[in-house]
């Protein structure tokens, strides 16, 4: 036997969930008005405009800044872990200072699915002191 529920009984709990989500969103947006992220609004606005995104709401800009700040912090943390693992593999070294390298950052970026592409070598400049002729 199949039991059915009326649409009215399903709508009430859904409305309560939606009201709770709206209140949470309003709290977050209110907090964003007072929060000043590490990345200045002007920097975030510049890159948003450069990508074609325009907003007049400073809370949206701050939300993007906060997301970027979190992403950078995650990359830095992962790179630190990579440096620690590399340092442990190289125990025979005389100097045991922890140094983060570009390889550590590259490995951290790969963990977050960010691909690094090195620019192509442009070759020697012609006509310079390196033997090129004019």
Burial class (CB in 10 A: 0-12, 13-18, 19+), 86: middle
The reported pTM is: 0.66
Residue 131 φ/ψ region, left for φ over 0, alpha for ψ in the -120 to 50 degree band, beta for the rest = left
- CA 22 to chain CA centroid, Å, is 25
Residue linked to tokens 């440096």: 83
The string of pLDDT tens digits covering residues 22-58 is 899 888 888 888 888 899 999 999 999 999 999 998 8
**More confidently predicted of 87 and 17:** 87
**More confidently predicted of 25 and 7:** 25
């Amino acid at each position: 036997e199949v039991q059915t529920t009326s649409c009215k009984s399903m709508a009430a709990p859904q409305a309560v969930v939606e009201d709770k989500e709206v209140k949470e969103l309003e709290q977050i947006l209110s907090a964003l008005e007072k929060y000043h992220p590490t990345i200045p609004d002007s920097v975030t606005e510049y890159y948003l405009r450069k990508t074609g995104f325009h907003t007049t709401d400073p809370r949206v800009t701050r939300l993007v800044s906060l997301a970027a700040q979190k992403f950078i912090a995650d990359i830095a943390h992962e790179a630190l872990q990579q440096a620690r693992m590399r340092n442990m593999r190289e125990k025979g070294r005389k100097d045991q200072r922890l140094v983060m390298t570009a390889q550590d950052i590259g490995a951290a970026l790969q963990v977050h699915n960010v691909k690094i592409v090195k620019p192509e070598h442009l070759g020697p400049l012609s006509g310079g002191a390196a033997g090129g002729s004019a």
